[in-house]
Amino acid sequence: MDLQLLIERMDVSTYQSLRDSLERGKWPDGQLLSAEQKALVMEALIRWGHQHLPEDQRIGYLPQPDCSSAPAGLIPMKDENGQL
């Protein structure tokens, strides 16, 4: 079965179980996730989240700061020539 089909059939409880396993680095039965398993689980979680979750609940989401209220120098700005 291909990864996309598995993602399409995944439900919320499976997503949460995979996320918990990735956070702990081991499966619910205590076995450690291999590096390959971690990569595949992360890919599945990101893809599923992209299809089913609002942007602010997805893995890796970083809110965009309000530039007008950010301290000077915190957010690099490009000049009219496109240079930082």
> Is there a domain that residue 27 lies in?
yes
> Is there a domain that residue 17 lies in?
yes
pLDDT at 13: 94
> Is there a domain that residue 68 lies in?
no
> Is there a domain that residue 29 lies in?
yes
> Is there a domain that residue 33 lies in?
yes
More confident residue, 5 or 30: 30
Is 70 a residue whose pLDDT tops 90? no
Write out the two tokens for 57: 């609940």
Domain count, the chain: 1
80 band by pLDDT with thresholds 50, 70 and 90: low
> Is there a domain that residue 40 lies in?
yes
> Is there a domain that residue 69 lies in?
no
Report the C-alpha gap between 49 and 29 in whole angstroms.
24
12 C-beta neighbours (distance < 10 Å), count: 10
Global pTM value: 0.67
pLDDT at 57: 83
Is 84 a residue whose pLDDT tops 60? no
4 band by pLDDT with thresholds 50, 70 and 90: confident
> Is there a domain that residue 24 lies in?
yes
* Domain residue limits at 42: 3-57
Report the C-alpha gap between 37 and 45 in whole angstroms.
12
Locate tokens 């598995």: which residue? Answer: 6
